[in-house]
Amino acid sequence: MKTQGVNAYVGGIIKRGKRVTKPNLPKHPTQHGYMTKDIQRAFIKAAIAKGLLPADAHRMAEIVSLTASVDPQKPIQFWQLYSVLGQEPIVRLVQRFYQRVFADEPWFTSVFENVGPIDHHINTQAAMWIDVMGGGPYYHGAEFRLSFHHTHNAIALMNDKGAKRWSDLMLQTLDTSADLLPNDPRVRQSINTFLSHFMKKYADEFAFENRSFFGETNQAYQVKINFMRMTDAEIHALTEAQISDALHKLGVDVSQYNGKEELLKKALMI
């Protein structure tokens, strides 16, 4: 089902925090969209630079996969969101957001009204989200279309004031839409990560200060460490925190060891 399918679906819609141990998340069929791979590559590169993802993240199947992990310790990447949400919650989130937009102050609302009615905005935004989140090819034109929209249709809001108001309304929408999300905090964190990634992208492109905060974002990806299957060089490349955490999980009293060198010696003995 392509974008026109989303349009029909949206029309139908308009007419009518605690951690879980083993999340029982639904599994919706996934597919790369027009934007998924490019956005995924850009995010992974930035996340590696920040230390949020391991250096070989782009080769790790569970990270690049479009299906979210059921392991509650593994973050859900935003291109995996469709696998746990499906279409309806995404569309309804976008719908609730634009209901706020079209009820807002004229200086803000008028920019959207000049582009089209609320149905148009819900449809195109939902198509873009579904496309990036692993739901398939919905957003025709991909990043070129997105860039054209912001540099022509929405340019009056691509600044500090416009970005802040957009972010405030989105935060309000998310904070009042827990009923649309699974009872797994990773889902909201992933949505926050998705929004934060794009807001930073726009802040860089349009030279405004990125003050947006949507809530807690994805935590750093924890790599399972098995010293017995690692070379000495690979163990040396680990951070002190990684070594300490892995030893602790093996039952070692890490308080006996002072600094990375002592921890390394213990790790190399295993």
- CA dist., res. 134 & res. 150, Å (int): 23
- Residue 205 half-sphere exposure toward CB, CA atoms < 13 A: 15
Q: Is the pLDDT of residue 9 over 70?
A: no
For the chain, domain boundaries: 1-18+27-223, 227-269
**pLDDT digit string (tens) for 139-168?**
999 988 999 899 999 999 999 999 999 999
**pLDDT digit string (tens) for 226-235?**
888 889 988 8
pLDDT score for 23: 65
Q: Is the pLDDT of residue 117 over 80?
A: yes
Tell whether domain 1-18+27-223 is in CATH 3.40.50.1980: no
- With a threshold of 0.75, does the pTM exceed it? yes
Q: Is the pLDDT of residue 205 over 50?
A: yes
Of 13 and 41, more confident: 41
Q: Is the pLDDT of residue 20 over 60?
A: no
In the chain, % of residues over pLDDT 90: 70
- CA dist., res. 255 & res. 52, Å (int): 26
Residue 3: band (very low, low, confident or very high) from pLDDT cuts 50, 70, 90: very low
Find the mean pLDDT for residues 236-262.
89
- CA dist., res. 242 & res. 12, Å (int): 50
- CA dist., res. 19 & res. 95, Å (int): 27
- CA dist., res. 37 & res. 170, Å (int): 25
Find the mean pLDDT for residues 68-87.
94
**pLDDT digit string (tens) for 53-67?**
988 899 999 999 999
Q: Cα–Cα distances in Å, from 111 out to 7, 121, 176?
A: 21, 11, 25
Residues 6+ apart with CB under 8 A from 144: none
Calculate the average pLDDT of the chain: 89
